[in-house]
Structure 1
Amino acid sequence: MAEDKAAAILEVLEVAGAQHGIDVVDVEVVGATKAPTVRVRIDWAYDPENAERGTISLDDVAAQTEWVSEVLDAFDPFAGSYTLEVSSPGLDRPLRREGDFERFAGETVALTTTAVEGRRRFSGKLVGMREGSVVIVDDEGEVEIPLSEVRRCTIKPTFEKGEKKSFDKPKKGKAQKA
């Protein structure tokens, strides 16, 4: 039931998000049935022409929360009260659409499939999409998983000692590590 509610909320928020230049990355419904928590992860809509914009800031999330709340109040997904949490997608950003898998090619991901038999969990470098399948390279080589069979996929942040991970483009004039 929670997954159905989350899917319905996601659908409604994606339409409204487009009007605000926002990508609704993920929606999760957790907690008690009588007073659930709705977690909405948002980011700036991806624009390859303006990729240096970077990820959404805390102030931006706070500014966008008002319309998210208004859309959910109008949609009224629950009979009683609920708690709304709006946040950025974080470093372990979920990937769910073809464009996500293309945009974050080169990142290390953890992927779980809906497969009933065989291997269900994969971890490796994301290559991108090929003919409707997500392509990753893991310890056993290249693997293609139909997008329709991807249950969950998230970026696995990797850090080198003393380094901070960010999806933001480097600022001009700053020294870069080789």
Structure 2
Amino acid sequence: MRIVKAALVGAAATAALLSVAVPAGAQSAAPVDSTLEQQVQQTLDTVKGAERISVNTVRLAEGVSVTFPVKDRKAVKAATNGVAPRVDDWFGCSVGYLCMWEHVEMSGARINFTNCRTENLWAYGWGNRVSSYSNNQTGSVYTLFYDGDTAVWGEEATGYRRNLVDNGMNDRFDAVKVC
């Protein structure tokens, strides 16, 4: 009787977890909290052409994505057949990427860049929103950060991470020249 009851409870829990609708193209229908869903939906509604590519990641443009934090990684992993949202390398910033977070200490939502070009952060809802970053690009590249039309900060690609609160750069960037 206990085994049957446990199986029924488990089946009901699994059905509840899988009931969240995820748009076509996403990797799975995983359990998500309402805050995560609101962040994803707001991004999809705000950025023209944005596409959900996983439970917590939205592709904003070629070479640009935003990743939102997930509260319950175990539940997400269980509902995605053992594949949890990807976290790798330097504070979740993959090799070859420039990543910027909305909060200090590489926390909160993260915008990720891979292509060498200048990006208008306002186009993605990230103008004046960056509080920390990791420049995990490779090779001899130099990233510039702009406040308006003025480059106010620069960093070589060294895998370096930086909090911007203590140096007057917090929430100041309007654009970034990646590479």
TM-score of the superposed pair, with normalisation by structure 2: 0.31
TM-score of the superposed pair, with normalisation by structure 1: 0.31
Structure in which a larger fraction of residues adopt helix: 1
